[in-house]
Amino acid sequence: MKKVRKAVIPAAGLGTRVLPATKSMPKEMYPIVDKPSIQYIVEEAVASGIEDILIITNRGKGIIEDHFDRFPELEDRLALSPDRKDVLDEVVNISKLANIYFLRQKETRGLGHAINCARGFVGDEPFAVLYGDDVIMGDDPTCGQLIRAYEQFGKSAVGVKEVSLEDIRKYSSLKVDLLKDNYYSCTDMIEKPAPGKEFSQFSILGRCVLTPDIFDILDNTPPGAGNEIQLTDAMATMARQDGMVAVDFFGTRYDMGNKLGVMQASVETALKHPEIGNDFKNYLMKLIKTL
pLDDT in tens, 126-176: 999 999 989 999 999 999 999 999 999 999 999 999 999 888 988 899 999
Are 121 and 56 spatial neighbours (Cβ–Cβ below 8 Å)?
no
Please report which confidence band the pLDDT of residue 23 belongs to, taking 50, 70 and 90 as the band edges: confident
Whether the predicted pLDDT of 48 surpasses 90? yes
Cis peptide before 20 (omega within 30 of 0): yes
The rounded percent of the chain whose pLDDT value lies above 90 is 72
Whether the predicted pLDDT of 2 surpasses 90? no
pLDDT of residue 223: 85
Higher pLDDT residue, 39 or 224? 39
Which CATH number covers residue 78?
Answer: 3.90.550.10
Question: DSSP E strands: which ranges in 76-181?
Answer: 99-104, 127-130, 134-137, 157-162, 172-180
What is the tally of structural domains in the chain?
A: 1
d(CA 207, CA 163): 15
Q: Per the domain annotation, does 87 fall within a domain?
A: yes
Q: Which residues of 137-166 are buried (b: 16+ CB within 10 A; e: fewer)?
A: beeebbbbbbbbbbeebebbbbbbbebeee
Please report which confidence band the pLDDT of residue 38 belongs to, taking 50, 70 and 90 as the band edges: very high
Q: Per the domain annotation, does 273 fall within a domain?
A: yes
Please count the other Cβ atoms lying within 10 Å of the Cβ belonging to residue 247.
28
Across residues 90-106, what is the average pLDDT? 91
Q: What is the pTM of this model?
A: 0.93
Higher pLDDT residue, 191 or 16? 191
Task: Give the closest residue to 10 by CA, choosing from 43, 49, 46, 41.
Answer: 41
Are 78 and 70 spatial neighbours (Cβ–Cβ below 8 Å)?
no
Please report which confidence band the pLDDT of residue 216 belongs to, taking 50, 70 and 90 as the band edges: very high
Q: Per the domain annotation, does 265 fall within a domain?
A: yes
Are 214 and 234 spatial neighbours (Cβ–Cβ below 8 Å)?
yes
Whether the predicted pLDDT of 75 surpasses 90? no
Q: Per the domain annotation, does 104 fall within a domain?
A: yes
Q: Per the domain annotation, does 123 fall within a domain?
A: yes
pLDDT of residue 44: 97
Q: Per the domain annotation, does 213 fall within a domain?
A: yes
Range of the domain at 15: 6-290
Q: Per the domain annotation, does 1 fall within a domain?
A: no
Q: Which residues of 110-120 are buried (b: 16+ CB within 10 A; e: fewer)?
A: bbbbbbbbbee
Query: Mean pLDDT of all residues in the chain?
Result: 92
Whether the predicted pLDDT of 87 surpasses 80? yes
d(CA 262, CA 266): 6
pLDDT of residue 126: 97
